[in-house]
Structure 1
Amino acid sequence: MKSLIAASMAAVLMTGTALADTTLKLVEVITSPERTETLRGIVKTFEEANPGTTVEIISLPWNEAFEKFATMYSAGEIPDVMEMPDTWLALYGTNGALEDLEPFLKDWEHTADLSDRALEFGRQVGGKTYMLPYGFYLRAMFYNKKLLEEAGVAEPPKTLDDFEEASRKVSALPGKYGYCLRGGPGGLNGWMMFGASMAGTDQMFKEDGTSTFADPGWVKGFAYLIDLYRNGYAPKDSVNWGFNDIVAGFYSGTCAFLDQDPDALIAIAERMSPDDYGVTTMPKGPDGKTFPTIGFAGWSMMANPADKELAWKLIATLQGPEGNIAWNKRTGALPALTSASNDPHFATPQFEGWFNELADPDAKPLSMPTYLEEFAFFKDSLVIKTSQQALLGEITPEDLAKQWADYMTAAQQKWLANKK
């Protein structure tokens, strides 16, 4: 009997040890050496607080992440927690692949600290919290204080009319220009923001799938941007500028305005005094609204993790104030926690511009239709070619709008048909 009891106790102890020693898998998809290093540091904090638990970090290169993760998922190699881009949320959230985090949020001590935008975006799919956004990539307007003062511009522009007038005045200075136009790769954001703000809506499609790009409001917005360039309010060679070019154009003092995400601050802050520039809300259109483009990413729990409570604790560590702030300092995103604005890194006049924009009810973040498989070609090929033609006067704003509308209408109607 004694030996039976001893054997039973040993079995219980062994079972307890097996339960305690748990390995969680965490997939990182927007990968860089700096991000991975930061992630390891936050994960180490989690492991120290949960003895017996190990986190295996799987880092996928971003340019191959979508295909690689889909392959992993199809093969049953499913992680417990993953970094979820906004463009993947609907795909995995609608097929039962993700856990709803709402039950955990009810008792989490930092739920009240999550911004309204974070909760709104995290609940996009069926009203369930399939993701906790860790931060936002939101466009706002950088402005050069010295150039505005030299040009006689009293304050940063609040409207599109103000922006055009300020750009005109700065461009009258020798060798200076108003706007750092991104006419080359990655330039779609500018066209969408000016188009939507002039149109007074971010709706890109009608109910039947017809694109709105050829509607008068959108065309007027496209023409506005073309006129800025053709009137000499942007550098002539900006028709070919990409990210590095526009950021350099701003910190070198070539142009007074730049629309960009917070990640541009890294290069700008290294080269400009914080007293010489500011960040403000994107200029508003005729109806008093503006539509800055936004992207976001966050943490999701995959369905049926190895240990649901531990998986949540890992997300809570990543998303809590210490983890969230440390992570976003390296990623260049705006933190999802309202308390982050008190951190010295974010409590600057420059970051205040983005927090003010997020809180402005008339600044509605605009999301791209990345659910369309044709969107990549549209963004990286068709838009660049046709927008450069329009900037150079080879086609009219109406021609530009029609080509975009025709292409996107076909893509959206195909997507709608496949949903039936």
Structure 2
Amino acid sequence: MFKKLLLAATASLAMTLPAWADTTLKLTEVITSPERTETLKQIVKTFEDANPGVKVEITSLPWGQAFEKFATMVSAGDTPDVVEMPDRWISLYANNGMLENLEPYLAKWDHTKDLNDKTLQMGRYINNTAYGLPYGFYLRAMFYNKKLFKQAGIDNPPKTIDEFVESAKKISAIPGKFGYCLRGGPGGLNGWMMMGATAAGNDTFFKPDGTSTMADPAWVKGLSVFVDLYKNGYVPKDSVNWGFNEIVTGFYSGTCAMLDQDPDALIAVADKMSKDDYDVAPMPKGPAGKSFPTLGYASWSMFAASENKDLAWKLIAALDSPEGNIAWNKRTGALPIYKAAEQDPFYADPKFKGWFDELRDPNVVPLVMPFHLEEWAFFDSSIALKTTQQALLGQLAPDQLASQWAEYLTKAQQAYLAKKK
């Protein structure tokens, strides 16, 4: 099926283009894995075949160090033509004039009308201007191991935070097993933000004067959940350093029974586990009867310094064409950007039910981080990583963690508001 998609992508790209003799485009991938890179290379190959004389040079950065490595490249003037732009970085680069406005290209693109509303909304998140074209969305839901739940005497996945903690406690009583796969290493901030907002019952990050809400008692209570799970031994001790690969491995190996993750985790889980041994449910709700699973996305963006902008757009259009995009998303697990793709048999599979149940539930509010802040990328990649690990290890109390976050983010938001006056 995948080969057919690639062949279809090749056919769709066979359009009349000017000849770019010996032209090299630089493409940087930052959310990297061997399978994603291989898929990207195959789709890019179809673009090169359809454009004789064009070579696409792919640079793949390891996600754990991608923010620092990419910033170093940019500061040295080594900018790509096209970059895989994470949601948390886009404000930093767009607001500093480094990304090309894609609106003129979208206005003429045949497929703009076929994009779903969320794609255009998030693509225009910064200054209502498309500084990137999203390729897919990542919404959190709860994977759970049905065999371990049964062994612990639990009939259903947790529907509330209290049930989540209680389930983790019961499963951790089984020798060698843990309740939850905690992502304490790089990329772990989403879980903390999701739990804080769910405990608070709203997704308001700032008060009207720009003061962060994160030091509020309800947020502190939510942040305390992960600290208590770690302290009580309901998560593996070494999970303080776990990233994406470790938490997914911890789940499919049966080490821990619950994992909150995006659909991209399905790739490995479905490959390693019997479909009868696990399922995916909506995220647990808080005291207000609501949950706030994080909604993330990544885009293809063009650097303003590109000397081949029209050709760089052709590459973005190829990557995000219906054929190229569905081939990519079927390998990355991202939710679709096209209206029609939502009806694709791939997404009709019952394993996606947990995510689509969330999207249909009015009491489930996808949580979008304050990506408008230029400081958010550093906060996510550095400050949050250091302080959450300190909290897990007992070096920071949850209220101290929350106060440090609130102080940093208040300064950032108030500076942002001042610029808008």
TM-score (norm 1): 0.78
Partner Cα separation in structure 1 for residue 238 and residue 19 of structure 2: 59
Shift of 1:103: 5.6
Q: Deviations over 1:44-73 (max 9, x none)?
A: 3234445x4524335263531233135437
Cα pair distance change 1:237/1:401, threshold 3 Å: same
Cα pair distance change 1:161/1:382, threshold 3 Å: closer
After TM superposition, list the pairs within 5 Å mapping 1:253-264 onto structure 2.
253-264=254-265
Give, as a single letter, the amino acid of the residue that structure 2 aligns with 1:204: F
Q: Deviations over 1:155-186 (max 9, x none)?
A: 32232233234334434555544322334554
Residue in structure 2 matched with residue 61 of structure 1 by the alignment: 61
Shift of 1:124: 0.7
Partner Cα separation in structure 2 for residue 379 and residue 395 of structure 1: 12
Cα pair distance change 1:170/1:84, threshold 3 Å: closer
The worse-fitting range, judged by mean Cα deviation, of 193-202 and 258-267 is 258-267
Residue in structure 2 matched with residue 387 of structure 1 by the alignment: 392
Larger CA Rg, structure 1 vs 2: 1
2:295·2:366 contact (CA, 8 Å) conserved in 1?
no
Q: Deviations over 1:220-243 (max 9, x none)?
A: 2123333444555x1362563513
1:72 aligns with 2:77: yes
Q: Deviations over 1:237-270 (max 9, x none)?
A: 2563513443333223333211123343343233
Of 370, 374, 383, 1:371 maps to 374
Partner Cα separation in structure 1 for residue 348 and residue 300 of structure 2: 25
Partner Cα separation in structure 1 for residue 55 and residue 275 of structure 2: 40
Residue in structure 2 matched with residue 162 of structure 1 by the alignment: 163
Cα pair distance change 1:360/1:103, threshold 3 Å: farther
1:138·1:293 contact (CA, 8 Å) conserved in 2?
yes
SS of the aligned residue for 1:178 comes to: strand
1:328·1:335 contact (CA, 8 Å) conserved in 2?
yes
Residue in structure 2 matched with residue 267 of structure 1 by the alignment: 268
Partner Cα separation in structure 2 for residue 337 and residue 293 of structure 1: 20
- Please list every run of 5 or more consecutive structure 1 residues that lacks an aligned counterpart in the other structure: 1-17
Residue in structure 2 matched with residue 317 of structure 1 by the alignment: 318
Shift of 1:319: 0.8
Shift of 1:192: 1.4
Give, as a single letter, the amino acid of the residue that structure 1 aligns with 2:70: A
Cα pair distance change 1:388/1:332, threshold 3 Å: farther
Give, as a single letter, the amino acid of the residue that structure 2 aligns with 1:155: N
State the number of aligned residues: 393
SS of the aligned residue for 1:59 comes to: strand
Q: Deviations over 1:350-401 (max 9, x none)?
A: 3343344345442313326573165133122122112321xxxx66433333
Give, as a single letter, the amino acid of the residue that structure 2 aligns with 1:98: E
Partner Cα separation in structure 1 for residue 209 and residue 347 of structure 2: 43
Identity between Structure 1 and Structure 2 (%): 52
Partner Cα separation in structure 1 for residue 104 and residue 279 of structure 2: 38
Cα pair distance change 1:236/1:256, threshold 3 Å: closer
Partner Cα separation in structure 2 for residue 215 and residue 406 of structure 1: 12
Give, as a single letter, the amino acid of the residue that structure 2 aligns with 1:324: N
